[in-house]
Chains A and B, each alone.
Chain A
Amino acid sequence: ETGVTQTPRHLVMGMTNKKSLKCEQHLGHNAMYWYKQSAKKPLELMFVYSLEERVENNSVPSRFSPECPNSSHLFLHLHTLQPEDSALYLCASSQDLAGGSDTQYFGPGTRLTVL
């Protein structure tokens, strides 16, 4: 296990639903990330949090809303999604943001299907 857990592992939702993805890291890290992984595409960074403060938001549509209540937990709230939002959503954590050498540890992901 990587020390990063995600729930649920699978989620099917309609376009009008509201749901949330949860991520928890047990590594004592200070930074957490949300990525989107679509088939045959590179991982796309969505959000970055450091010490519960959002430090980067890569032009993500407002139908995705992150929340970081503490350094161990990260949520991604979903509402009025589109079918093209179907993907694997990965959470990652790292010790800090400082420098490019900081290793990121990934959770298993939530497989999201939007009908």
Chain B
Amino acid sequence: QKEVEQDPGPLSVPEGAIVSLNCTYSNSAFQYFMWYRQYSRKGPELLMYTYSSGNKEDGRFTAQVDKSSKYISLFIRDSQPSDSATYLCAMSVDTGRRALTFGSGTRLQVQP
């Protein structure tokens, strides 16, 4: 079983739709949760960062963490064609771990 599971997509939605991207994980020690966005031919860029459980909102983006279910989500409101990219979830434990564990990424296409 992979440590982090993420549906690869592609996920195709019309412009203006609400997008829900999700990851599940198996390691209950994960405390820090991140979402990266990766455009074609570019490196990943940090989009959202959350510590422990709860919600975090930044403009059109909302990140949710449910540690009891080992499930994290990224919601995109009023999706735009410029949101078309691959979205990677990543997570790490509190201390002692020097790097991130990534999901395989979900490819999102927002149709104009």
Contact = CB atoms under 8 A, between A and B. Distances in A.
A107 B32 CA distance: 22
Interface of B: 2, 4, 8, 31-32, 34, 36, 41-46, 49, 51, 88, 90, 92-95, 97-105
A101 B8 contact: no
A33 B99 CA distance: 8
B111 to A, nearest CB: 22
Contacts, number: 66
Contacts of A6: 43
Given A4-B43, A33-B99, A106-B44, 13 more contacts: A2-B45, A42-B102, A42-B105, A43-B90, A45-B100, A90-B43, A100-B92, A100-B93, A100-B95, A100-B97, A101-B32, A101-B49, A109-B41
